[in-house]
Structure 1
Amino acid sequence: MTKKDPIRPTDDEARALARRLLTEARHGALATLRDGQPHVTRVALAIDGADLLTLVSDLAPHTAAIRNHPQVSILLGEPGRGDPLAHPRMTVMATAEFADKQSLKDTYLKGHPKAALYVDFADFHIVRLKVTAAELNGGFGKAYRLTKEELNI
């Protein structure tokens, strides 16, 4: 018996939902590899072209993890009322790069103006998450894999 692949062919509806989740995300659960173990933390996000931005502190364990292993993933999508697993969500795979804070500060602060209180502290850095692919769960039975090009952001 052949097992059917649960991943659907990516269609325009899936691409539109994925783009919406990506461009509207203000927070996400960032997964890194820390001391050989998976480590997940909630981070604030901003979008910059085809990439996501986050602000990290040297005091946070995920900052060192990113420096050691820049391949990360981030879970996007907010649960609403009712069953949280019935709401769309997407895991985005990315390569993390420490970026020039001064050139991206205004972009980041547009979505997170309260961060102006600490963005200029010496131990804070803006990290660019360069999206490489995504896995979308659009609800029950609606699973898709998307390339960076299919996200078209």
Structure 2
Amino acid sequence: MAEIAAEARSLVRLSSKGALATLEPPSGAPYASLITLATEADGSPVFLISTLARHTRNLVQDPRAAILLDGTGSGRADGGDPLQGARLTLSGRAERTDDPNARRRFLARQAQAAFYADFPDFSFWRLDIESAHFIGGFGRIVDLSPEDLLVPLAGAESLLEAEEGIVAHMNEDHADAIALYAQVFGGVAADPAAPPWLMSGLDPLGCDLVRGSETLRVDFRSRIETPQDARNELVRLVDEARATLGSG
């Protein structure tokens, strides 16, 4: 169960898009649409939607919603059955959020959205997860609770206050370290000609990296709760990455 919960949490962090299901008034008929995603520090999905969109009008009338995250890939090179891949349905209630951290984390993940994020018809929303259903292939079907998916933030207040500065510092001054994280912990081949990887967020259990539409998750060895914890762990990861490359 712990392994499946960890896989589900990783899928939430890695997903940059999903299918949003809402209920149409007055019939209650289901309506599904594509949205782009990021996460809050605790792992709750965040999305940016317009009042001109049908799904937003639905949510205003009835906040019940679900988001399907697809980790099966498309056009699999092995020709395998996509139904053997992982997918996760998050169910709960959507609510509008004016939290500047939600905005910052979303735009760090979805940079193209900065063009329209301040249009008057757009606003940020989060899904308050009430339940989840994970399918990881044949025989791996599990119902999960919010506690299985979300990161407890109590005790990590100083880390969250410092997150924006830590992320900016890493991107501005330690691009080489981020590249090592991607190469060693994300399995991405080094390519000097490619755009750089950027850190988009940091939380008590890990950090998120982004390069265009690509995403990576780097898990920490243990939970961190302070800026000093973050510094120690980020340095440890660099040392581990260098040692790994050196041993090869």
Query: Corresponding residue for 1:4?
Result: none
* Secondary structure of 1:132's aligned partner: strand
Matched, 1:60 2:58: no
Provide TM-score, normalisation by structure 2: 0.55
CA contact (8 A) 1:101 1:125 kept: no
Structure having the higher strand fraction is 1
| Greater relative CO, 1 or 2 (CA 8 Å, sep 6+) | 1
Deviation track 1:48-96 (CA, whole Å, cap 9, x = no partner) reads 0231100000111000101111111110023221322111001001210
Matched, 1:38 2:36: no
Query: Corresponding residue for 2:239?
Result: none
Deviation at 1:137, TM superposition (A): 0.2
Structure having the higher helix fraction is 2
Gaps of 5+ in 1: 1-10
CA distance in 2, matches of 1:143, 1:117: 39
- 1:27 aligns with one of 11, 17, 24: 17
Gaps of 5+ in 2: 152-248
Deviation at 1:102, TM superposition (A): 4.7
CA distance in 2, matches of 1:118, 1:127: 15
CA distance in 2, matches of 1:41, 1:152: 24
* Secondary structure of 1:121's aligned partner: coil
Query: Corresponding residue for 1:77?
Result: 70
CA contact (8 A) 2:21 2:67 kept: yes
Following TM superposition, the consecutive aligned residue runs of length 4 or more in structure 1 with deviations greater than 6 angstroms are: none
Letter in 2 for 1:131: I
CA distance in 2, matches of 1:63, 1:152: 25
**Aligned Cα RMSD in Å?**
1.3
Query: Corresponding residue for 1:105?
Result: 103
* Secondary structure of 1:79's aligned partner: coil
Letter in 2 for 1:99: T
Provide TM-score, normalisation by structure 1: 0.88
